[in-house]
């Protein structure tokens, strides 16, 4: 049984849902998972030091991972370098399966460039598109992105693109690391 620390940050809730699903898969593989919501939990270096493996899971907004994740990676980079690390990005580009790996995801490439931490696994996971809940400007911008990338543009649409089989497979892959 390994101790896994899962640090996540979500704005609209989908990353939170992914964090809890990933955690329950890992728990059923007999690991002990502690979840840290980076928005409302004060993290300390010992939370990382005490873990056998660390997962960082963060949503993207306009090309950048949410600030609490960026702060966490910058602040604790030296500690994270010493642990098996998994970095997971939640975004809508990952609705296309080939955009989930470092080779084809510009978001992942830029993330690693900013935080050169040598994670064992880096992957993107598809999030949720929820036009009705977006403010006018955000809806307009996401529609623009969707038009360019040939996704849904109907403003009444909500689509959960998250591939839950991928999340399960990731849990299995992570289990192999510890
Ligand atoms: C304002 C806004 C900006 C976004 N920007 C991007 C983006 O630049 N690239 C992308 O692939 N997805 C983008 N997304 C999609 C989110 O990453 C996706 O909806 C994800 O599920 C959000 O996670 P959360 O529900 O945990 O906040 C954006 C979504 C919103 C609402």
pLDDT at 77 over 90: yes
Domain match, 31 and 95 both: yes
Q: How far, in Å, from the CA of 92 to the mean position of ligand 1?
A: 6
* Residue whose CA lies nearest to ligand 1 atom number 4: 61
pLDDT digits 0-9 by tens, 136-154: 999 999 999 999 999 999 9
Q: Is 84 in the same domain as 55? A: yes
Whether the pLDDT of residue 128 is over 90: the answer is yes
pLDDT of amino acid 113: 97
Is the same domain home to 90 and 141? no
Tell whether 35 and 7 lie within a shared domain. Answer: yes
d(CA 133, CA 157): 10
Residue 120, domain CATH: 3.40.50.360
The reply to whether ligand 1 has any atom less than 6 angstroms from the CB of 63 is yes
Number of domains present in the structure of the chain: 2
Residues 167 and 139 in one domain: no
Distance 101 CA to ligand 1 centre (A): 18
The answer to whether the beta carbons of residues 38 and 7 sit under 8 Å apart is yes
Question: Do 14 and 49 belong to one domain?
Answer: yes
Distance CA(30)–CA(107), nearest Å, equals: 32
Are 11 and 30 part of one and the same domain?
A: yes
Q: Six-digit token pair at 103? A: 């080779």
pLDDT, tens only, 20-51: 999 999 999 989 999 999 999 889 999 999 99
Tokens (6 digits) for 158: 């909500």
For residue 93, the SS3 value is helix
Classify each residue of 125-150 as buried b or exposed e, where b means 16 or more C-beta atoms within 10 Å of its C-beta. bbbbbbbeebeeeebeebbeebeeee
pLDDT at 136 (0 to 100): 97
In terms of domains, do 41 and 101 share one?
yes
Q: What is the dihedral of CA 173, 174, 176, 178, to 10 degrees?
A: 180
Whether residue 137 sits in one domain with residue 84:
no
Tell me the pLDDT of the chain averaged across its residues.
97
134: Cβ below 6 Å to ligand 1? yes
143 in the same domain as 89:
no
**Structural domain harbouring 91:** 3-127+163-177
Q: What average pLDDT does range 69-74 have in this prediction?
A: 98
């Amino acid at each position: 049984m390994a101790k896994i620390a899962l640090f996540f940050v979500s704005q609209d809730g989908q990353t939170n849902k992914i964090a809890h699903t990933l955690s329950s898969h890992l728990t059923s593989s007999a690991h002990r998972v502690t979840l840290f919501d980076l928005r409302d939990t004060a993290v300390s270096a010992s939370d990382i030091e005490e873990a056998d493996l660390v997962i960082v899971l963060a949503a993207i907004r306009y090309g950048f991972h949410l600030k609490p994740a960026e702060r966490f990676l910058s602040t604790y980079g030296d500690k994270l370098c010493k642990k098996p690390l998994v970095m997971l990005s939640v975004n809508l580009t990952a609705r296309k399966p080939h955009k989930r790996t470092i080779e084809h995801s510009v978001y992942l490439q830029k993330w690693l460039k900013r935080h050169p931490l040598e994670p064992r696994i880096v992957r993107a996971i598809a999030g949720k598109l929820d036009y009705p809940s977006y403010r006018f400007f955000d809806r307009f911008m996401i529609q623009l992105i969707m038009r360019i990338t040939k996704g849904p543009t109907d403003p009444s649409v909500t689509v959960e693109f998250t591939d839950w089989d991928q999340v399960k497979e990731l849990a299995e892959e992570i289990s192999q690391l510890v």
